[in-house]
Structure 1
């Protein structure tokens, strides 16, 4: 029998602890080994048993989540999923959480419609499953019936490509678990005059603005959270806003992005499959597709569509991926031209775009 992922819930709210407990009870692969109202209670539980994954709130009495996370990762690293209420004002705090070693950041499930709960369930359970696959580095009940897994048809119907001849290139990137660091390495390596880059990184709402701002401060190119109708420019990177799909579109020689709502696609919003399908349709042979570290298969089918429409497609290799799921699935479908270590991807992109 497959061993269940043992989860420790750490949150000062009894309502949230119960909500997460109920949520995890719907997944046959996850088991809650305990709950704690603060880090001290969590440490007491961990004296006798170490969880596979911890879900951790940030604002708690006696010791805040960031302090606990830093102590944990410096003494006994355990995969941690930060589960908290995200606000624009607090988003920098969550950048710190990633720096201290959090694997994923998700929003707390709220009371709402059944559809809202189902989306929360998918996101939270997938985050825990992804975290369970990660080997963190040390610092110096009955399953609910699952809705059908939607593909990119739910947002952008399949169909012929609109590949008008142009010399302008565009780079499309998809990433999930481990992607925040992978994107940092990739974008820092790009020169100021690099082709325009459009990115989907699985992130919660409000978090992408701070992430973009941080990258903009350390990269030679300009990095920003995408707004609807933003033009894709050389030396610029646009990151899809959390909880919104992003499509590449084209008007004449101008590439631009459309940011829109829609259902979860490949269990995500934003979805890499949605971006890649739009890229296949409107850029085709003028596109370079890159799929990076992440759990699941979001982006694999879209990458195949990109390849079939003439794009050059790159996958991050297993050794440098935190989780090899997304690149591996894309490789399996046969839409990849080259598999490369993370540190070599930017160089390959520039070489391909320059025609060398």
Structure 2
């Protein structure tokens, strides 16, 4: 399959650069470039691309408004390409909630890993075309946060751990907005650049019953709190026996990532054993599969998102193949399952 792509950016030089990078991959063909949403709209109608790349700051209608209209009227894979500024981070998190496939930095020709990642994201976005067309927008459907709940005291959980990657902003928003305010300490690793996780935590904090914060090294672990691993700084782990604290420590990449879901899951398994629950959500690759298996072997209740509701069925599929999940469930059922609402073992977990 050739991923037919339109590049949307108001800078002619950036159009040329992004196009040049993408066309180094024989599985991608740039079929057009557009300088603004009006040009992009006409080009999409005429060329019917598999993917578009989209900048946020453009003249006339900005990229965020254009994306919202596009996902409402003609859902399709969109890869956001933006600068790593705080303003850009806030807007890109909003774009991911609206339905963008992923967010990437403006390319630099001397960063080979980032250039390869851009090509891989565009190809993965094209492969997810059918899923994107069929999904809804949970960001527009949130109920008011639950200020009461059935958290730790009812279900006997000492902790919850959740991992996600591509598609995880939407998935985590849906899962965590169902959490009660008195939930057990919850640890989250979402693959995301350094400048984005603080914005993501702040957005979740406005939507969720528990307090949602970006984790920092040495902060105490408390009930009613969700701790988001900071992007690019280190791996999120937990330490301590009676007074537990978050640890954020630099280290080697694990499963290609820092922070790594595997590292976090294995730490939670070591500290909490069977008195916790964990979920592995949508994402490219296999990060988290081995860690989820370690949690299940420690006696924890483990859940993986199913194929039908995953934007990218990579990480949860890897967990299912390892037998790491007690349950493989649609996204809408995962919150209930984490708090003990589903206890039977799902059969045919690779489906």
Distance 2:51 2:75 in 1: 10
Whether the 8 Å CA contact 2:229–2:236 is kept in 1: the answer is no
- 3-state secondary structure, aligned to 2:212: strand
Distance 2:340 2:197 in 1: 29
Q: 216, 228, 239: which one pairs with 1:239?
A: 228
Bigger CA drift: 295-304 or 328-337?
A: 295-304
C-alpha distance after superposition, 1:278-316 (max 9, x if no partner): 333433333322101222222112222222333321112
Shift of 1:100: 3.4
Using the size of structure 1 for normalisation, the TM-score is: 0.81
Shift of 1:107: 1.6
Distance 2:249 2:223 in 1: 23
Bigger CA drift: 179-188 or 29-38?
A: 29-38
Bigger CA drift: 326-335 or 314-323?
A: 314-323
Distance 2:163 2:135 in 1: 27
Distance 1:41 1:262 in 2: 45
Structure 1 position 250 matched with structure 2 position 239:
yes
Distance 1:62 1:216 in 2: 31
1:224 counterpart residue number: 213
Q: 99, 102, 105: which one pairs with 1:104?
A: 102
Q: Work out which structure has the larger RCO, using CA pairs closer than 8 Å and 6 or more positions apart in sequence.
A: 1
Structure 1 position 89 matched with structure 2 position 87:
yes
Note the aligned Cα RMSD (angstroms). 2.6
Q: Which runs of 5+ in 1 are unaligned?
A: 141-166
Distance 2:312 2:211 in 1: 28
Q: 255, 258, 261: which one pairs with 1:266?
A: 255
Distance 2:248 2:107 in 1: 24
Whether the 8 Å CA contact 2:182–2:224 is kept in 1: the answer is yes
1:135 counterpart residue number: 132
Distance 1:275 1:45 in 2: 44
Shift of 1:221: 0.8
Whether the 8 Å CA contact 1:73–1:139 is kept in 2: the answer is no
1:212 counterpart residue number: 201
Provide runs of 4+ in structure 1 moved above 6 Å: none
Shift of 1:138: 8.6
Count of aligned positions: 321
Using the size of structure 2 for normalisation, the TM-score is: 0.82
Shift of 1:262: 4.2
